[in-house]
A and B are shown apart, each in its own frame.
Chain A
Amino acid sequence: MITPTLYLGAAVDPLLLEVGVDYIDDDDAPYELLAQSVPVVPAGPGGECAFPLLYLSTIHYSGDVSLWITPVVDGVDGETQRLDLIGVPNSKGERVTTEIDLSIPYVVDGVEQSRYHLRGAQFQARVETKYADAEVGAASTAAKTVVESVELEYEVLRESRPALGS
């Protein structure tokens, strides 16, 4: 069967590069997935919320992959957390929803005393891979993963004040 296959041509090396082969690298040069949501402001501008949890829904097909999830509150990065997804051979896709605790532990002398929720007006979530970082980003070339959704749990602490005259 004849299959029209898409190729790219490049400078420096006279190569034809096939598009859509494996994952995580372009001709052995790793690239990274990075996705960041637009800011949401649940309590409105000027309001304040607590952000205790994220729910990350993924469908993982094959290969091993690590996703790195970072909450961004009012433009400031929170603690990045790692989610390891282990591939199942010949998998048709395993749908997993992972609860990601955004709270920050308060530790005294090595003992956790309490936890803080992230607080702020505006929230974004960033999901990325770190294949290029050999220490943390190990992944296989068949690491097919789909991010379906990211869901934020929040609690309004203070509503925004309506503008004057509104």
Chain B
Amino acid sequence: MARQKLILPFGGGVDRKTGLTVVDPDAMADVRNAHLSRGQMELRRGIARRVLIEWGDDVLGIFSIRADGLAAVVVFEVASREVRLYVVDGALNVDLIDTLWTLPAAASVRVSAAESYSIIAFAHDEPEFGLRQATRIFDAEQQTIVDLTSDLDRSTVAETVRFQQVYSYLNYLMGTGYGTGADEDRPEVLRISKPGEPTVFVPEHYFLVGLQGEPIVGCGRSGDIFEVSKPSKSYKLIGYDHQTFGVRPLDENYGQLSSRLGVTVVNERFRWALDGPRVSQGGVSADVEPPLDLDGPAPDDAAPYPRPFPYDDDLDDAFAFYDSVRGEVWFVFGWWAYILHLKDGPAARRWSYRTFDTYLLCAGLVYEGGAARVKLHMRWTETTGPDTDHYLYGDLAVSDPTPQAINSITAFAVLEGGASAITPVELTGAGKGTGTPTSNLNTTGTLAVRIAKPPLFGSGSVTFSASAANRTAPTPITVNVPAVAGVPVAFAGASIAVEDYGANTMRVTTGLSGDYGYFTVSVNGGPESGHGDPLINVGTQFGWDIDAAGILTGEITSITVRAYTAGGALMGSDTSVGSWTVAYNNF
């Protein structure tokens, strides 16, 4: 029999005699590390490190802040279990914003985030409510981050909201897994913010989705509905505002396996269900065509190393995203990924398999080429010191994304409530000396700060601000300084003693106890002396040296000592009546 020819379906391709004859595109037994498009197969491009966050171990999330051309990056440190928020601008400058959470030992290390109206909400994606942390709101414009609070149980006290996941849909922020302050752990609840006000949640604007107690696992837009998936069922949120919103059953048999294994591409939602990838367009889901039927290594064989701690479950940590440049939907399971190639249109979709030397945790867009939003950032961390009861200790860190460009940075501690309310302020950074309320850092750095707490004054506060040439000033930080509860001042009866202490000076001593701000001394009912700190401090004996010139002539018949708070409130007084002879210039 004569020889014949047969085209082997190799990712489509061409017949070299007949030209572009694309054959059945799904006919591949195994494809690894390839881009599949236009009936061809190309070695995929690699990944390369571009930005190093100089802290922590794992990048948990990369979230676009489209309104500001920024990206929020969430980083986790294994040893401390601290989760921090960083911002990357268009010039790839990295700026620390603040700590999001310090996670309990058993808590999952996953984060959910959603952007809405120039804020981005961060939820701790922890199914166990007792371990879940507060939902936090980051204002990219103001560079501030606060807990999300709302009085959902109408108790007149706003409670801290702890959503498990957050989503952006239309002009709403959606949150799952939180009921009210009186009934917090409600995994089936979907809450919806006020339109255009993503941080405002009205108590009655929520839906119970499906069976009570069965958690919502993942959500996303599909067609013109908002799909709400549980592990083995899906529901749909219909409508476009609070008057028309409603939840209906959607898919009785298929849900979403884990919270991040779903992605919306144009009008289609791809999600990974218990039996593999599915797709929907606002209706019941269907198997992705062609079916995922690639040869490939078993998951354990594909892992080049043991899973990095604490990521012990490939499925829980898996995620999906869409690469719009290459038209690829990625389902990533740590060391490997299944890629659905959409470039050739719905009828010619194909799967491939990719392996990585790195355990991947997230993906997201960074808006490169935009303006560098170089902004100073300031962070206050309270520390401990030798006399924490009476002094507030802390580190004031001032950072700049590009420290080599800094001309100067100056940090100021501005006392609120009057200069004497909190005094002294000591900035004890290296080479900065003490006793000055300001200090010029001249570079990115950390300043050790010690602040005297006001005794019996009520709480005070210190506001730090910073500035530098060619930089946007950071939002000032106000640190509350709690008052020392203190011991009420007490005088040891008529125990005031007076002695000659040199020319024009007399020394007044008395037995005192308690906490106070300052004392004054008056003689013969005359004006009070200046404030001044005690010069003698031996046990409970305190004394003041007073300039007697112009005050004292003749006989002293009474001496009154008055105690004041640091804020100037009279705490008490003691008067000693006696007879002391005063000689001008020679007391």
Q: Which residues of A pack against B, CB within 8 Å? A: 1-27, 29, 31-40, 42, 52, 55, 57, 59, 65, 97, 123-127, 129, 141, 143-157
Q: Residues of A contacting B8 with CB < 8 Å?
A: 37, 40, 123-125, 149-152
Let me know if B48 and A18 touch, CB within 8 A. Answer: yes
Q: Which residue of the partner chain, among A16, A24, A40, A125, contacts B46 with CB atoms under 8 Å?
A: A24
Interface status of B499 (Cβ within 8 A of chain A): no
Q: Which residue of the partner chain, among A26, A55, A145, contacts B358 with CB atoms under 8 Å?
A: A26
Q: Which of B57-65, B112-120, B138-146, B229-237 has 4 or more CB atoms under 8 Å from chain A?
A: B57-65
Given A40-B6, A150-B8, residue A17 in contact with residue B359 (CB < 8 A): no
Let me know if A26 and B59 touch, CB within 8 A. Answer: no
Interchain Cβ contacts under 8 Å between A and B, 10 examples: A5-B365, A10-B360, A12-B308, A17-B49, A24-B43, A34-B31, A35-B31, A149-B12, A149-B16, A155-B4
Let me know if A15 and B29 touch, CB within 8 A. Answer: no
Chain A min CB distance to B348 (Å): 15
Interface status of B506 (Cβ within 8 A of chain A): no
Q: Residues of A contacting B87 with CB < 8 Å?
A: none
Let me know if B5 and A152 touch, CB within 8 A. Answer: yes
- Identify the closest chain A residue to B3 (Cβ): A155
- Identify the closest chain B residue to A57 (Cβ): B16
Let me know if B56 and A14 touch, CB within 8 A. Answer: yes
Let me know if A18 and B14 touch, CB within 8 A. Answer: no
Q: Residues of A contacting B365 with CB < 8 Å?
A: 4-7
- Judged by DSSP, the binding face of A is strand
Chain A min CB distance to B393 (Å): 28
- Identify the closest chain A residue to B109 (Cβ): A11
Query: Which has the most chain B C-beta neighbours within 10 Å: A3, A7, A26?
Result: A7
Let me know if B16 and A26 touch, CB within 8 A. Answer: no
* Sample of 15 more A-B contacts, CB < 8 Å, known A4-B365, A150-B8: A3-B367, A7-B51, A12-B58, A16-B53, A26-B48, A27-B48, A29-B358, A31-B46, A31-B356, A35-B10, A37-B10, A146-B40, A147-B10, A150-B13, A156-B1
Chain B min CB distance to A53 (Å): 9
Let me know if A17 and B308 touch, CB within 8 A. Answer: no
Chain B min CB distance to A56 (Å): 9
Let me know if B33 and A33 touch, CB within 8 A. Answer: yes
Given A16-B51, A18-B48, A34-B33, residue A26 in contact with residue B357 (CB < 8 A): yes
Let me know if B42 and A147 touch, CB within 8 A. Answer: yes
Instruction: Report the separation of the CA atoms of residues A112 and B3 in the bound assembly, to the nearest whole angstrom.
Output: 24
Q: Residues of A contacting B10 with CB < 8 Å?
A: 35, 37, 125, 127, 147, 149-150
Let me know if B11 and A153 touch, CB within 8 A. Answer: no
Ranked nearest first, the 6 interchain pairs of A and B with the lowest CB-CB distance are A9-B59, A149-B13, A29-B357, A16-B51, A14-B53, A21-B48
Instruction: Report the separation of the CA atoms of residues A29 and B52 in the bound assembly, to the nearest whole angstrom.
Output: 18
Let me know if B43 and A9 touch, CB within 8 A. Answer: no
Let me know if A38 and B4 touch, CB within 8 A. Answer: no
Let me know if A155 and B1 touch, CB within 8 A. Answer: yes
Q: Residues of B contacting A97 with CB < 8 Å?
A: 16
- Identify the closest chain A residue to B69 (Cβ): A2
Given A12-B359, A16-B62, A35-B34, residue A21 in contact with residue B42 (CB < 8 A): no
Instruction: Report the separation of the CA atoms of residues A26 and B337 in the bound assembly, to the nearest whole angstrom.
Output: 14
- Identify the closest chain B residue to A43 (Cβ): B1
Instruction: Report the separation of the CA atoms of residues A2 and B90 in the bound assembly, to the nearest whole angstrom.
Output: 8
- Identify the closest chain A residue to B5 (Cβ): A153
Interface status of B355 (Cβ within 8 A of chain A): yes
Instruction: Report the separation of the CA atoms of residues A126 and B30 in the bound assembly, to the nearest whole angstrom.
Output: 9
Q: Residues of B contacting A55 with CB < 8 Å?
A: 16
Let me know if A11 and B3 touch, CB within 8 A. Answer: no
Chain A min CB distance to B314 (Å): 12
Query: Which has the most chain B C-beta neighbours within 10 Å: A5, A6, A154, A156?
Result: A6
Given A14-B57, A24-B43, A147-B42, residue A7 in contact with residue B363 (CB < 8 A): yes
Instruction: Report the separation of the CA atoms of residues A145 and B367 in the bound assembly, to the nearest whole angstrom.
Output: 29
Given A34-B30, A37-B27, residue A7 in contact with residue B62 (CB < 8 A): yes
- Identify the closest chain A residue to B49 (Cβ): A15
Instruction: Report the separation of the CA atoms of residues A148 and B7 in the bound assembly, to the nearest whole angstrom.
Output: 11
Q: Residues of A contacting B358 with CB < 8 Å?
A: 8, 10-13, 17, 26-27, 29
Let me know if A3 and B362 touch, CB within 8 A. Answer: no
Instruction: Report the separation of the CA atoms of residues A125 and B64 in the bound assembly, to the nearest whole angstrom.
Output: 43
Let me know if A151 and B308 touch, CB within 8 A. Answer: no
Q: Residues of B contacting A32 with CB < 8 Å?
A: 32-33
Q: Residues of A contacting B90 with CB < 8 Å?
A: 2
Interface status of B361 (Cβ within 8 A of chain A): yes
Instruction: Report the separation of the CA atoms of residues A50 and B356 in the bound assembly, to the nearest whole angstrom.
Output: 39
Q: Residues of A contacting B69 with CB < 8 Å?
A: 2
Let me know if A129 and B43 touch, CB within 8 A. Answer: yes
Instruction: Report the separation of the CA atoms of residues A1 and B326 in the bound assembly, to the nearest whole angstrom.
Output: 20
- Identify the closest chain A residue to B61 (Cβ): A9
Instruction: Report the separation of the CA atoms of residues A129 and B43 in the bound assembly, to the nearest whole angstrom.
Output: 9
Interface status of B369 (Cβ within 8 A of chain A): yes
Chain B min CB distance to A46 (Å): 16
Instruction: Report the separation of the CA atoms of residues A147 and B61 in the bound assembly, to the nearest whole angstrom.
Output: 35
Chain B min CB distance to A97 (Å): 5
Instruction: Report the separation of the CA atoms of residues A46 and B54 in the bound assembly, to the nearest whole angstrom.
Output: 63
Q: Residues of B contacting A156 with CB < 8 Å?
A: 1, 4
Q: Residues of B contacting A153 with CB < 8 Å?
A: 3-6
Let me know if B308 and A11 touch, CB within 8 A. Answer: yes
Given A2-B367, A4-B365, A26-B356, residue A42 in contact with residue B57 (CB < 8 A): no
Instruction: Report the separation of the CA atoms of residues A149 and B295 in the bound assembly, to the nearest whole angstrom.
Output: 20
Let me know if B52 and A42 touch, CB within 8 A. Answer: no
Q: Which residue of the partner chain, among A7, A22, A157, contacts B364 with CB atoms under 8 Å?
A: A7
Q: Residues of A contacting B326 with CB < 8 Å?
A: 20
CB interface residues, B 314-361, toward A, < 8 Å = 321, 323, 325-326, 354-361
Let me know if B367 and A8 touch, CB within 8 A. Answer: no
Chain A min CB distance to B42 (Å): 5
- Identify the closest chain A residue to B337 (Cβ): A8
Given A14-B56, A40-B6, A149-B10, residue A9 in contact with residue B360 (CB < 8 A): yes
Let me know if B29 and A38 touch, CB within 8 A. Answer: yes
Let me know if B368 and A27 touch, CB within 8 A. Answer: no
Q: Residues of B contacting A1 with CB < 8 Å?
A: 369
Instruction: Report the separation of the CA atoms of residues A14 and B308 in the bound assembly, to the nearest whole angstrom.
Output: 13
Interface status of B73 (Cβ within 8 A of chain A): yes
Q: Which residue of the partner chain, among A145, A149, A150, contacts B42 with CB atoms under 8 Å?
A: A145
Q: Residues of B contacting A7 with CB < 8 Å?
A: 50-51, 62, 71, 363-366
Let me know if B308 and A21 touch, CB within 8 A. Answer: no
Interface status of B542 (Cβ within 8 A of chain A): no
Q: Residues of A contacting B39 with CB < 8 Å?
A: 148
Let me know if A37 and B28 touch, CB within 8 A. Answer: yes
Chain B min CB distance to A91 (Å): 15
Let me know if B361 and A148 touch, CB within 8 A. Answer: no
Let me know if A27 and B13 touch, CB within 8 A. Answer: no
